[in-house]
Structure 1
Amino acid sequence: MKRLIGLALVAAASLAQAQNTAIPGAPASAAKKELVQRLLTLQQNQLDGITRDIVARPAQQIAAMADETLQTQIPPAKHPPIIKKIQEHLQKYEEGTMPLVRDRAAKISQASVGPFLEEKFTEDELRQLVNALEAPAFKKFQQAQPELLNLYVQAVRKDLATAVQPKIDALERDVRIAVGAPAPASGAATPAPAKPAKK
């Protein structure tokens, strides 16, 4: 009987410990925190890229607004110096913000993503993620992605050319008619710009 009671107490203690590890907000173990840091390090380049995009988007929107203003409200003869000044401002913005992004991105990920990973993933799950991301095969796959994507794009263009080109021709014809421009001759490709004569 004492042996049974002892086993029951051990089982109860083990169950309580397991439940405590699953309680939201419970402090993460040192091993778990280390795994989270490794995972953040592995993902830092991606997080940096996202942060750069967020910072760059307002500049892109402002540049688009400036371009529209140039095209619709300012005579072409006045464009060159204005474009140069806009480019200088954009470069100044980039030079002033990108170092800040590099300095802040890691701190932001530590403060926001780190606690999320600690809460949502078990230590074993984090270990599996880290092992997968550090696997040589996965790193090789990441390095091959640009080539894979380019191969796919070329294959799509080649495969869909015969199916899509007639629709492109029809769209060009309809738009030309809508704006009152002459339609190209049937079956004729859109003429390429004439090359300048050799001097």
Structure 2
Amino acid sequence: MKKLKLAILATAMAATSSIGWAQDSKAALVKQFIDLQRPGIEVLARVLVEDSSAQIAQAGSGYLQTQVPAEKREAAAKAADAELKKYFDDAYPYVRDKAVALAPAALGPVLSETFTEAELKQLIDWLQSPLSKKYEEVNPKLRNALTEKLVAETKPTIEPKMRALDAAVAKALGAPTGPAPAAAGKAPAKK
């Protein structure tokens, strides 16, 4: 009986340690996968920072074109660009470092729940393969090719919709929707 208890105890301990090892092994694969994704995580941070200031830049550009005298526009544009760059240079490293630091806690559980250890190994092998690197290099060309075709095909339909949207928003805001201010100063043509 004593030998049976020892055998059961030894089996249980071996099972527990192999489960722990498997979890440690999977955790190491998850960490490796996230480390390989770091460039994409940094791009995400860059896009978030750029997007956060895009509306301000766009509004500033509109104001610059309509409210700043022509002779002062270049200097004002340079000053605004300097402020936008200063914001980016300050915000991007912070957001990038936070994204890299948060990635394991945010992505790790999803990866662990979704993929088996074997699948994680396959993903890592793929990411490190020459074919994956070649695909990463050609992917922007693929995206650009589709974008060019999509814009060319949809432009005739979308442009009138955008003009209608612009007019509708201007009307909703009570903004003038007639001819440009330069044309408004001209005398109407005689009939």
TM-score by length of structure 2 reads: 0.62
Alignment map for 1:23-172 (pairs within 5 Å)? 29-149=23-143, 156=149
One-letter code aligned to 2:75: P
**TM-aligned CA distance change 1:58 to 1:130, over 3 Å:** same
Deviation at 1:124, TM superposition (A): 2.1
Identity of aligned residues (%): 32
- Mapped to 1, the partners of 2:103 and 2:121 lie a distance apart of 19
Deviation at 1:144, TM superposition (A): 2.7
One-letter code aligned to 1:56: E
Deviations 1:44-76 (A, max 9, x none): 111111111111112111010111112222222
Deviation at 1:147, TM superposition (A): 4.2
One-letter code aligned to 1:90: L
Deviations 1:79-128 (A, max 9, x none): 22221221111111111122223322210211211122122222222222
Over the aligned positions, Cα root-mean-square deviation in angstroms equals 3.7
- 2:127, 2:133 within 8 Å by CA — same for their partners in 1? yes
- 2:33, 2:124 within 8 Å by CA — same for their partners in 1? yes
- 1:32, 1:123 within 8 Å by CA — same for their partners in 2? yes
Deviations 1:114-167 (A, max 9, x none): 12212222222222221222222222222233444556677x49xx98x999x6
Q: Per the alignment, in what secondary structure is the counterpart of residue 29 of structure 1?
A: helix
More helix by share: 2
- Range that drifts further, 100-109 or 32-41: 100-109
- 1:51, 1:101 within 8 Å by CA — same for their partners in 2? yes
Query: Which residue in the other structure is 2:184 paired with?
Result: none
- 2:45, 2:92 within 8 Å by CA — same for their partners in 1? no
- Number of residue pairs aligned between Structure 1 and Structure 2: 151
One-letter code aligned to 1:33: A
Q: Per the alignment, in what secondary structure is the counterpart of residue 37 of structure 2?
A: helix
- Mapped to 2, the partners of 1:60 and 1:27 lie a distance apart of 48
Deviation at 1:36, TM superposition (A): 0.4
Query: Which residue in the other structure is 2:187 paired with?
Result: none
- Mapped to 2, the partners of 1:54 and 1:101 lie a distance apart of 8
Q: Which runs of 5+ in 2 are unaligned?
A: 1-10, 161-177, 180-191
TM-score by length of structure 1 reads: 0.59
